[in-house]
């Protein structure tokens, strides 16, 4: 990126990853256009170098304002809850496609960084995973490969997280459900490391056409759930009781949630698809390509990240 203070447009700016990214970019002195569906928000107030644009991914005028003059666009917006595939496709596929189309029409098309998910590697597991993969495919088909980067973070944790943080807090109280096989492995990444990786990609520029990069916290081979529980135990000084939950129970609860959601109209987090994701044996990621192409390395270990998170 040649401009010392580039302009970056961010979708999903009030979400978990987007809000962390916003703070990293703003603290760097970069100019930011941030999309929000709320006229008022608490992520960062209106201030110098930060412009809030009210709208969503269905609002063409707002998206055009968002990306106008941007050197880079970071697409963080995504849907993680839903009953049917169409519930995820509205944002994860169609919204992503809209971003690509509008960016491609810019006089100077920006670098487009799409925050996907490691779940896109296994699209058969769930509607969410299928929608994330379909979103990637839409981008590759519609946008300039020499200006496109797709990041597939593994499980992301940190301040503001609504998925893993409640589980870590339960662990800190001395109890933890263990789902699936004891040999299951997963990688993790702290949201601040992810935000800094995105910043590095923007600052460096595109390393290779339509690059798809997995990203994690540097622990090769990831963790078992027992590794994670042991880490929390060391931090808290408490013995943590492990409660084994059979796969059949997890899948049953997912089916029940779907049935209940049809009555209540609420979008459940635990569905049969989410159960399939939770039970998948290998969610380990590979940092080699992004480290090689962007000379980026994570700095927050699991122990450090969880210590800071649980102390907050």
- DSSP alpha helices (H): ranges in 155-271? 164-172, 191-204, 225-236, 247-264
Find the mean pLDDT for residues 219-232: 95
What's the pLDDT at 40?
54
Contact of 284 with 222, CB cutoff 8 Å: yes
Residue position matching structure tokens 């917006």: 77
Q: Above pLDDT 90, what percent of the chain?
A: 81
Statement: residue 179 has pLDDT above 90: no
Q: What is the pLDDT of residues 38-50, one digit of tens each?
A: 765 556 666 778 9
Q: How confident is the model at residue 137 (pLDDT cuts 50, 70, 90)?
A: very high
Q: How confident is the model at residue 113 (pLDDT cuts 50, 70, 90)?
A: very high
- DSSP alpha helices (H): ranges in the chain? 16-27, 60-67, 85-89, 96-104, 127-142, 164-172, 191-204, 225-236, 247-264, 272-279, 288-294, 302-311
Find the mean pLDDT for residues 233-260: 92
Contact of 120 with 132, CB cutoff 8 Å: yes
Q: How confident is the model at residue 222 (pLDDT cuts 50, 70, 90)?
A: very high
Q: Which of 59-73, 172-186, 234-248 shows the lowest per-residue confidence on average (mean pLDDT)?
A: 172-186
Task: Give me the residue spans of the domains in the chain.
Answer: 7-154+189-215+285-299
What top-level class would CATH report for the domain 7-154+189-215+285-299?
alpha beta
Statement: residue 275 has pLDDT above 70: yes
Best-predicted range by mean pLDDT among 35-39, 130-134, 265-269?
130-134
Which tokens sit at 278? 């939770």
Q: Which of 3-7, 105-109, 112-116, 268-272 shows the lowest per-residue confidence on average (mean pLDDT)?
A: 3-7
Q: What is the pLDDT of residues 57-87, one digit of tens each?
A: 999 999 999 999 999 999 999 999 998 999 9
Cα–Cα distance, 69 to 57 (Å, whole number): 18
Which of 132, 54, 139, 149 lies closest to 102 in space, CA to CA?
139
Find the mean pLDDT for residues 206-215: 90
Statement: residue 2 has pLDDT above 50: no
Cα–Cα distance, 164 to 161 (Å, whole number): 6
59, burial (CB in 10 Å: exposed 0-12, middle 13-18, buried 19+): middle
* Bridge partners for 112 per DSSP: 73, 148
What's the pLDDT at 46?
61
Find the mean pLDDT for residues 53-59: 93
């Amino acid at each position: 990126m040649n401009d010392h203070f580039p302009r970056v447009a961010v979708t999903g700016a009030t979400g978990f990853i987007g809000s962390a990214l916003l703070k990293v970019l703003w603290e760097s002195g970069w100019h930011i256009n941030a999309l929000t569906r709320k006229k008022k928000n608490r992520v960062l107030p209106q201030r110098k170098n930060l412009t809030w644009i009210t709208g969503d991914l269905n609002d063409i005028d707002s998206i055009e304002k968002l990306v106008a003059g941007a050197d880079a666009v970071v697409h963080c917006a995504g849907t993680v809850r839903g009953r049917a595939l169409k519930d995820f496709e509205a944002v994860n596929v169609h919204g992503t496609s809209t971003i690509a189309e509008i960016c491609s029409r810019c006089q100077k098309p920006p670098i487009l960084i799409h925050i996907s998910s490691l779940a896109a590697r296994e699209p058969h597991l769930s509607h969410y995973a299928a929608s994330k993969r379909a979103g990637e495919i839409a981008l590759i088909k519609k946008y300039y490969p020499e200006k496109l980067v797709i990041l597939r973070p593994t499980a992301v944790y940190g301040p503001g997280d609504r998925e893993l943080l409640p589980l870590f807090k339960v662990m800190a109280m001395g109890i933890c459900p263990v789902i699936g096989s004891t040999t299951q492995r997963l990688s993790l990444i702290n949201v601040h490391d992810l935000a800094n990786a995105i910043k590095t990609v923007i600052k460096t520029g595109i390393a290779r056409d339509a690059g798809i990069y997995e990203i994690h916290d540097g622990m090769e081979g990831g963790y078992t759930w027992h590794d994670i529980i042991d880490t929390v135990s060391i931090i808290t000084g408490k013995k943590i009781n492990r409660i084994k939950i059979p796969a059949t129970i997890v899948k049953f609860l997912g089916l029940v949630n779907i049935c209940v959601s049809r009555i209540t109209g609420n979008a459940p987090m635990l569905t049969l698809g989410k159960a399939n994701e939770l039970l998948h044996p290998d969610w380990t990621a590979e940092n080699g390509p992004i480290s090689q192409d962007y000379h980026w390395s994570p700095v927050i270990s699991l122990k450090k990240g969880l210590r800071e998170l649980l102390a907050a």
